[in-house]
Amino acid sequence: MNRLSRAALNCLSVLVAATAPGMGLTQQPVAPPAVPAEPSIVQLQQLFVDHAGIVGAVERHYVQRINDFDVKGPALHAVIELNPDAGAIAAALDPRGGGGAGRGPLFGVPVLIKDNIDTADRMLTTAGSLALVKSRPPQDAFIVGRLRRAGAVLLGKTNLSEWANFRSTRSVSGWSGRGGQTRNPYDTTRSPCGSSSGSGVAVAADFAAVAVGTETDGSIVCPSSVNGIVGIKPTVGLVSRSGIIPISASQDTAGPMARSVADAATLLTVLAGYDPQDPATAPLKGHPPPDYRKFLNPDIKGMRVGVLRQYMGFHEGVDAVFDRALQTLRARGVMIVDVDMNLPKTLGDDENTVLQYEFKDGVNRYLARRPSGPHSLADLIAFNQAHAAREMPWFQQEIFVASQARGPLTDATYLKARQNTRDVAARAIDAALKSHALDALVAPTMGPASVIDLVDGDHFIGGDIATPPAVAGYPHITVPMGLVHGLPVGLSFVGTAFSEGTLIHLAYGFEQAAHARRPPPLPPG
């Protein structure tokens, strides 16, 4: 983490220089106002309207906070690398403050992105692996271009479970060879969960306003739930995957992670859109997605949700919090109906087969486009073997090896497993929704964060609700619903394809009624 420490100190020196005395005999610089704790996007943008030079001050505030609590202090290790150009980006935006023309929906907003999303700048894109530290992508990911055009300040990259948790069956959430172990800000002995662990922790710890994560199965909703934030796993095809290190063409998607539904909706509006390089986004070509902020309506009276009680019963504390969440929905006039979702017991095995085939195909295609470094999955396996002391001190690469043994996507084994996954899961969700004319399905997202176990790997309880929408390619939103023994747990809303607006409406109505989120026990900065 030496690179991070140097970058933080460099930015801090800019702050000292910018506020030093002697800048004029008759006029002293006006100190910018303090950045409030956990500011929303709306609050930040009001600061930018009211105060000249504040974009740079906000960027420096977050660099300082990352240095104090991510590098030092509890050493959460959520940020794998600060952007050395973030200060210059903020400085370039400052003259356009005060409500001038050209302000995008994320103007001046500090955003962190997961370290499997390409940036063609001075930051690396490594999926947490040492194998890619000497290789740089040739261009920005499609969604990075959208962030830049929206006026975001790309503050840095977040740590992740190496290779998005798809290297070993005994992997540890939040650990990567490059970034070390990310820790939960509510209890640093506990897991940050899922491969988007750094993004979840960074938002919870107020290291940025919002962050971008990615999910194949649970990797947005899991870290959002255990870190007490909002996560949106979009419909596959709503957000481009071009320039994102892949696992599965069937299930991969990027999505927003934020402290509020409103901020998540704003970020989703920026990320969503047609990309000719990603065929999954073809439905958007003639039908661009809406501005999801228009669904931020707290009135949810008359809406109908189906309770999936099959995803309860794994923890009495979670059940109690979930029951209170249902009472909150009822009090807001939501009709609650118990439903079942019938899925084949073989769904998990078929999903694993699909992911292994698609990972080999996808990562080989992705690596072939990088101008240097490993160019195939076989190269990655060889690198890990050659650097086992640093890359495999706790767990191995048996998923890599199993994927490498798979054939092409024309294999009958793959085609059969593919047929038994996405369509089956989609039909099960749609049938449950149609059975009682429901707007969404609800369930606990998962249990409280488990203790980090580097020896035996992850051992979470609950969380099964993530798999059906992940396999179906359907949207899934998790919102904080309370604490169990001081640890956050989330409430999941699942819908049919491209129903993000409906889910945001429900999630926002619940959030505004419950006010269930509690910040982690960190100083406000």
Residue reference for tokens 């999936």: 308
- Local confidence pLDDT in tens for the 525 residues of the chain: 444 443 443 443 333 333 333 333 344 456 678 899 999 999 999 999 998 889 999 999 999 999 999 999 999 999 999 999 999 999 999 876 554 446 899 999 999 999 999 999 999 999 999 999 999 999 999 999 999 999 999 999 999 999 999 999 999 999 999 999 999 999 999 999 999 999 999 999 999 999 999 999 999 999 999 999 999 999 999 999 999 999 999 999 999 999 999 999 999 999 999 999 999 999 999 999 999 999 999 999 999 999 999 999 999 999 999 999 999 999 999 999 999 999 999 999 999 999 999 999 999 999 999 999 999 999 999 999 999 999 999 999 999 999 999 999 999 999 999 999 999 999 999 999 999 999 999 999 999 999 999 999 999 999 999 999 999 999 999 999 999 999 999 999 999 999 999 999 999 999 999 999 999 999 776
The model's pLDDT over 19-74, given as tens digits with 9 standing for 90+, comes to 333 333 344 456 678 899 999 999 999 999 998 889 999 999 999 999 999 999 99
Cβ atoms within 10 Å, residue 5: 13
- Structural Rg of the chain based on CA atoms: 22
Q: Can you read off the two tokens belonging to residue 102?
A: 């050209």
What does the alpha-carbon distance between residue 130 and residue 163 come to, in Å, rounded to a whole number?
Answer: 11
Residue type, 432: A
With beta carbons less than 8 A apart as the criterion, state whether 461 and 312 touch: no
Report how far apart, in Å, the C-alpha atoms of 54 and of each of 61, 139, 492 are. 10, 30, 36
pLDDT of residue 53: 87
Label residue 149 left, alpha or beta by phi (over 0 means left) and psi (-120 to 50 means alpha): alpha
With beta carbons less than 8 A apart as the criterion, state whether 472 and 425 touch: yes
Total-model pTM: 0.93
How far does Cα 317 stand from its chain's mean position? 26
Could you give the domains of the chain?
Answer: 2-14+36-514 (3.90.1300.10)
Phi first, then psi: give them for residue 204, nearest 5 degrees: -60, -40
What does the alpha-carbon distance between residue 82 and residue 92 come to, in Å, rounded to a whole number?
Answer: 18
What does the alpha-carbon distance between residue 258 and residue 338 come to, in Å, rounded to a whole number?
Answer: 30
With beta carbons less than 8 A apart as the criterion, state whether 195 and 184 touch: no
440-444 vs 487-494, strand pairing mode: antiparallel
pLDDT of residue 180: 98
With beta carbons less than 8 A apart as the criterion, state whether 255 and 233 touch: yes
Catalytic-labelled residue, pool 40, 114, 129, 161 = 114
Active site residue 72: no
Catalytic-labelled residue, pool 197, 219, 450, 492 = 219
How far does Cα 171 stand from its chain's mean position? 19
pLDDT of residue 95: 77
Strands of 253-300 (E only): list them. Answer: 253-258
With beta carbons less than 8 A apart as the criterion, state whether 186 and 406 touch: no
Active site residue 40: no
The DSSP secondary-structure symbol of 331 reads H
Q: What percent of the chain has pLDDT over 90?
A: 90
- Mean per-residue pLDDT of the chain: 93
Reference 477, options 305, 247, 282; nearest CA is: 305
Q: Can you read off the two tokens belonging to residue 513?
A: 């009624």
Catalytic-labelled residue, pool 40, 195, 225, 492 = 195
Residue reference for tokens 């931020």: 296
Active site residue 157: no
What does the alpha-carbon distance between residue 134 and residue 123 come to, in Å, rounded to a whole number?
Answer: 11
